[in-house]
Structures are given as structure tokens and as C-alpha cells.
Amino acid sequence: MNKKKLIISTIYLVSVFLFLRTDLSFLKFLNSDPSTILFFSLLPLMIWLPVNSNRAIIGAIFFMILTAIFNLSKFEKTSENLVIQSFFFFAYAVFISIKELIKEK
Amino acid sequence: MKFIQEIFKIVIFIISILFSGYFILGTIYSTIFIELQFKEQIVSSMTNYELMLMLFGILGVLGILGFKKIIKPILSKGEIIIYLFSSYFLSYFIIKNFQFSGRLFIILILSISAILFFLLLRITDFFYNFSVLYLKELILKEKIKLSQSISKFVSYFINIFVKLPKMVIEIIQGSKKIIFDKESIIKILSYSLRLIISMTFSLVIVLSVIFLTIGLTGLIIFKIDQYFDYQNQLRKSFVITKINPKNSTYAQEVVLQGYNFGWRLNNRSLLMTKDGAINDIKLWTDNEIRFIVPLHLREGKSFVWLEKPENDNNYSIVLKSNQVFLNIISRWEFYPSQLNYDSSLYPIQNENLLKRIKRFLFFKLKVGDWLSY
């Protein structure tokens, strides 16, 4: 990973998390679920970096494994959050692969 | 001077990286792993205002240290969008915490985000081209000296080792000659001294950086921890923490903030001053009270405090909160008096215009507490 990209992405992350602490009226159309909001706040960074469909799928699988572990040990809210994350990562990967297919044609 | 500046640079570099990393990981952790939270996370339990002050400090110092003329910032489209996003978010965060009035909101957001955009460019430049040339030179010089002195030291040591068997034989033979030459001992001593001195200089640089970072971060964490202990104690007690505005006049609304005011169940819970109770209370909740300054208070400084019964029983003890200052300014400081009305130049009179400006500053912008003496 590029050094400059790392610096810019940390600045972005700090600013986004500070923003999320103040007011969520901006993101109320997402039904104010913290895990969803977290993903959508990371989305611009993922598009910019860019995160491949392969990488996104690896992320989704990672979150799936984590959900399995947490669900077995009966942490309900945590496993819910992790499921949401894995779903979004999977959806993102699918969209990106569709985009790549269209580009190829 | 350069030495101190560069050590300061390194310290700020390390602290900002630690802070940002801790903040990012902490927030991700606390949003996803809700049930696995640590008991007292320092960053997540910080209020927005304190975070903002910390951010201001780090941003300001980084902005000053990273101040360089950027000739042509080469930015791709995606970078510009990310910068715009982050500067907008930061400015929104800053403005929301200052609680400016609605009119200025858009202008302030635009101006502050424009300033922050360039400041963020500077900061990325600072981190990207991070260099401590002066310190590097110093260390390199010392390294050369060190290597020279080490080689000399080793050569002398080897010399002695070569001489050793001879000496042993001489000792065994029982000769009473002085075995060591004085010169060689002196030379070894001097070289070892030089070696120690040259080692100490580079060691001092490294150790000072380590101690400064550990000390500063430790001090900050310790102070924050102490502060939160204090805040936790405040939250459990019956206390007024803030009065806004501190300087006001008659018939204006004043807000008290604090903890455990309770609900106003009967007439025994009172808002008291030395001139009697205040009855015109618009809102009474557990941590906020809004009241109108009554006419029977005297001008000047007066104390305000709260009284509430311990429970619903009529014979229970009355609890008193702490006292806060409320400065009541004469209403003729803000509104035109009869003398003003009578003058022929009334609406554009000098005094009247001043009063109008004062009204705007105190009651519209609500910056009276900053301006009043």
C-alpha cells in the first residue's frame, strides 16, 4: 500500500468518526443502525483505495467466520453487527465484479 | 534550537499516530463488538468538546510544523473528493460543538472547511516528507567517530592479548619487572572514555525521544483519567455545572445545566437567590433548568442555587446544591432610556446604536460572556 494513501485514509477515518459522534441526522435514511452507518462511512474510502472484489470477498468471509464464533458463544448483538458487515462486503464485491464484467464487454 | 525542534517533531509525530490509531480502532471496536467493551475506554468516554480541543491542539501543531510552500499540489480526482469529505466532516464537528446560531452555519462550514482543506494538504505533506536531517547528521557523525574509536580500542586490546602469554611466562619465571607499560594502559583508558562519551551522545538522543513520548502520553492519559474520575463524581452529586449566559439582564432567559436536579414534584424544590426564590421557571428537567430573570433581583453579581427535598415526605431534609454566579447588568445598557427617546436624533443616536450592537451581540449571537468584562 502506498504511504500517501495510508496517511490520507487515516485522516479521512478520524474525520468520519468524529463526524459520526456529533450528529446522525445526515445519515438517518439508513435507519440509524450503527453497523450499517459504519460501513457506509467507510464506503468512499473503499471506492478510492480501491478494494478489489476478491479482497472484499475475503473480508466478507472473515466477518462470516467471526459471526460464527460469536454466535456460538452467544454474543447476539455482536454477531448481528458482524453479519451486517459481511453482507455489505459481499454485496460490494458482487457490484464491483458486475462493474468489471461490463467494462470487459 | 534545531535539536529541540526536531525532537519535538518526532514526539508530535508519534503522539498523533498513537492518538489517531487508538481512536480509529477504538471506535470500530466499540461499534461492532458492543458486548465486549472494556469497562473504561478513554477515547470513547471522552466528550466531543474534549476531543475537539485535542484535535485543535494536534492539528494546530502539525499545521505549524508542516508549514511549507507547496508549489503545485498534484491531486487526483479521488484524493480531492476524499479531502473535501474529510474537511467537511471536521468543520461540521467543530461548528456543532461551538453551537453557533443557524444563520452563520453555512458560511462558517464553507470557510472552515476551506481552511481545513489546505491544512490537511500541509499535514499529509508533513507526514509524507517526514525527515529529521539535523539529528540524522548528528547521529551519522557520532557513528563515524564511534567506529573509529572502536577499531582503535580493539587493536589495542588485541595487542595486549598478544603480549599476555609473554607476561604469563614472565610471571611464572618470577621476574619482578613491571609487566604492563604505563603508556598502553593510559591509551586503553582514553579510548574507552572516548567510546563511552560518543555512545552517550547517541544514547541521550534516543532516550530523550523515548522518555518524552512515554512521559507526555502518560501524562495526558493520567490527566484524562483523573478528569473522568472527577466527572463521574460530579454526575452522581446534586450540582450545577454551568450557567449560560453568565451575564444577562432582566426578562432574559438563562439556562442552568448540571446533574440530579430531580423532577419538580412540589413547591419545596426551589431555585433560590439571596433576594428570594425565582418563580418564572420555563423548564425543569433532571439536568437542565430554564428560567426568566425576575425583576426583584438586584443588579450586579448574585448567587443562584437549588434546593430540593430529599424525598416526597413533607418532613424530609432540604438538600442544597452549589452556588453559581449570575451577573445582572442594568437594562439601560441594552435598551434606550427616556433620555434617548427625547433627543431629536433618536434612531441614529450614537448611544442608541451602541445599545443596538450590544443587544445583537448579547441576545442574538449570545457571545456576551466572552465580551463582558
pLDDT at position B350 is 80
pLDDT at position B290 is 93
What's the pLDDT tens digit per position in B249-295? 999 999 999 888 888 777 778 899 998 899 889 999 888 999 999 99
Task: Specify the number of domains making up chain B.
Answer: 3
Q: Using an 8 Å CB-CB cutoff, list chain B residues near A13.
A: 20, 24
- Where a domain ends, among B100, B128, B156? B128
CA nearest to B241, candidates B307, B302, B304, B322? B322
Gap between the Cα atoms of B105 and B309, Å rounded: 43
Gap between the Cα atoms of A21 and A26, Å rounded: 12
pLDDT at position B75 is 80
Same domain flag for B227 and B251: no
Q: What's the mean per-residue pLDDT of chain B? A: 81
Give how far B238 is from chain A: nearest CA, Å: 27
Same domain flag for B204 and B225: yes
Is the pLDDT at B37 greater than 70? The verdict is no
pLDDT at position A92 is 93
CA nearest to A28, candidates A18, A37, A19? A37
pLDDT at position B154 is 78
Is the pLDDT at A14 greater than 80? The verdict is yes
CB contact under 8 A, B28 and A38: yes
Q: Say what the ipTM of the complex is.
A: 0.89
Bridge partner list, B304: B273, B324
CB neighbours of B349 closer than 8 A, spacing ≥ 6? B340, B343
Give how far A75 is from chain B: nearest CA, Å: 7
Is the pLDDT at A50 greater than 90? The verdict is no
What's the pLDDT tens digit per position in B146-156? 777 777 777 77
CB contact under 8 A, A35 and B83: no
CB contact under 8 A, A4 and B128: yes
Higher pLDDT, B274 or B312: B274
β B300-309/B276-277 pair status: unpaired
Q: Which of B32, B87, B99, B129 is the mutation pick for testing A, counting most A CBs within 10 A?
A: B32
| CATH assignment of the domain containing B334 | 2.60.40.10
pLDDT at position A28 is 62
- Where a domain ends, among B79, B109, B128? B128
The interaxial angle of helices B48-65 and B77-98, nearest 10 deg, is 130
Reading across the β-sheet that carries B281-284, which strands appear in turn?
B239-244, B253-259, B288-292, B281-284
**High-pLDDT (> 70) share of chain B, %:** 91
Gap between the Cα atoms of B253 and B271, Å rounded: 14
Same domain flag for B116 and B24: yes
Please report which confidence band the pLDDT of residue B70 belongs to, taking 50, 70 and 90 as the band edges: low
- Where a domain ends, among B218, B234, B250? B234
Cβ contact B130:A4 at 8 Å: no
pLDDT at position B67 is 65
Q: Residues B191-212: what's their mean pLDDT?
A: 81
CA nearest to B25, candidates A38, A37, A80? A38
Q: Is A17 on the interface with B (CB under 8 A)?
A: yes
pLDDT at position B361 is 86
Please report which confidence band the pLDDT of residue B44 belongs to, taking 50, 70 and 90 as the band edges: low
pLDDT at position A72 is 86
Q: Residues B41-67: what's their mean pLDDT?
A: 71
Gap between the Cα atoms of A49 and A89, Å rounded: 15
Is the pLDDT at B42 greater than 90? The verdict is no
Cβ contact A93:A56 at 8 Å: yes
Same domain flag for B143 and B262: no
C-alpha cell at B174: 618470577
Is the pLDDT at B179 greater than 60? The verdict is no
Same domain flag for B297 and B224: no
Q: How far is CA B333 from CA B94, B288, B337, in A?
A: 33, 28, 9
**Cβ–Cβ pairs < 8 A, chains A and B:** 90
- Coil, helix or strand at residue B46: coil
Is the pLDDT at B177 greater than 60? The verdict is no
pLDDT at position A64 is 93
Give how far A90 is from chain B: nearest CA, Å: 17
Same domain flag for B93 and B173: no
Q: Residues B317-325: what's their mean pLDDT?
A: 89
Is the pLDDT at B57 greater than 90? The verdict is no
Q: Is A24 on the interface with B (CB under 8 A)?
A: no
Find which of A34-48, A86-100, B300-314 is predicted with most confidence, using mean pLDDT. Answer: A86-100
Q: What are phi and psi of B300, to 5 degrees?
A: 100, -165
pTM of the model: 0.58
Q: Using an 8 Å CB-CB cutoff, list chain B residues near A38.
A: 28, 31-32
C-alpha cell at B295: 425583576
Q: Using an 8 Å CB-CB cutoff, list chain B residues near A41.
A: none
Q: Which of A11, A43, A69, A75 is the mutation pick for testing B, counting most B CBs within 10 A?
A: A11
Same domain flag for B276 and B291: yes
Express the helix, strand and coil content of chain B in percent, nearest 5 each: 60, 15, 25
- The owner of cell 532516550 is B207
- Domain holding B70, by residue range, is 2-128
Same domain flag for B60 and B180: no
What's the pLDDT tens digit per position in B125-150? 888 888 778 878 877 887 777 777 77
Give how far A10 is from chain B: nearest CA, Å: 7
CA nearest to B87, candidates B122, B50, B49? B122
Q: How far is CA B46 from CA B102, B225, B326, in A?
A: 26, 10, 29
Please report which confidence band the pLDDT of residue A60 belongs to, taking 50, 70 and 90 as the band edges: very high
Q: Which of B13, B31, B76, B80 is the mutation pick for testing A, counting most A CBs within 10 A?
A: B31
Give how far A105 is from chain B: nearest CA, Å: 25
Q: Residues B196-209: what's their mean pLDDT?
A: 80
Q: Residues B152-171: what's their mean pLDDT?
A: 75
pLDDT at position A90 is 94
Q: Using an 8 Å CB-CB cutoff, list chain B residues near A12.
A: 82, 85-86
Same domain flag for B246 and B196: no
Q: Which of B23, B30, B35 is the mutation pick for testing A, counting most A CBs within 10 A?
A: B35
